[in-house]
Amino acid sequence: MGLFLKAAIGALVVVLIGLLSKSKHYYIAGLVPLFPTFALIAHYIVGSERSIEALRTTIIFGIWAVIPYLAYLVSLWFFVGLWRLPLALPAAVGCWVVAAWLLIQGWNRWHGQA
């Protein structure tokens, strides 16, 4: 039953995005996937299984994790002006991967967890 409920919620989110994308407020469709579902799960698990300090570190890393998403958005904005969408999307995802890798490398170097 739990798996069915999760699938139903996921389907509802997709329907909501689809409906919003057809409305006069189509831009709100870009906000819906950013609801912190996975962040809530991660913060609950870290906060209940580790120390509050570990949770606070996770939260700070989450703040920095906005950088790869910003790299994705900025690069996608640029790429859709140059290429068709099927090429622009994976290129922007590649930018996200590079930015995420750089973030992790920098974080590990700064915090001595290399």
Report, as an integer, the average pLDDT of 8-12.
86
* Measured distance CA(8)–CA(5) in Å, rounded: 5
* Measured distance CA(9)–CA(16) in Å, rounded: 10
Q: Indicate if 113 and 103 belong to the same structural domain.
A: yes
Give the model confidence (pLDDT) of 46-62 as tens digits.
999 999 999 999 999 99
The tokens describing 107, both together, are: 């974080």
Number of H helices, E strands in the chain: 5, 0
Most confident among 25-29, 45-49, 89-93 (mean pLDDT): 89-93
Q: Indicate if 26 and 79 belong to the same structural domain.
A: no
DSSP state of 11: H
Among the ranges given (30-39, 42-51, 69-78, 105-114), the one the predictor scored with the smallest mean pLDDT: 105-114
Q: Indicate if 30 and 58 belong to the same structural domain.
A: no
Provide the domain count of the chain.
2
Structural domain span for residue 7: 1-35
The model's confidence at residue 113, banded by pLDDT at 50, 70 and 90, is: low
Residue in the block written with tokens 């001595």: 112
Q: Indicate if 104 and 90 belong to the same structural domain.
A: yes
Q: Indicate if 7 and 55 belong to the same structural domain.
A: no
Q: Confirm if 107 and 61 have CB atoms less than 8 A apart.
A: yes
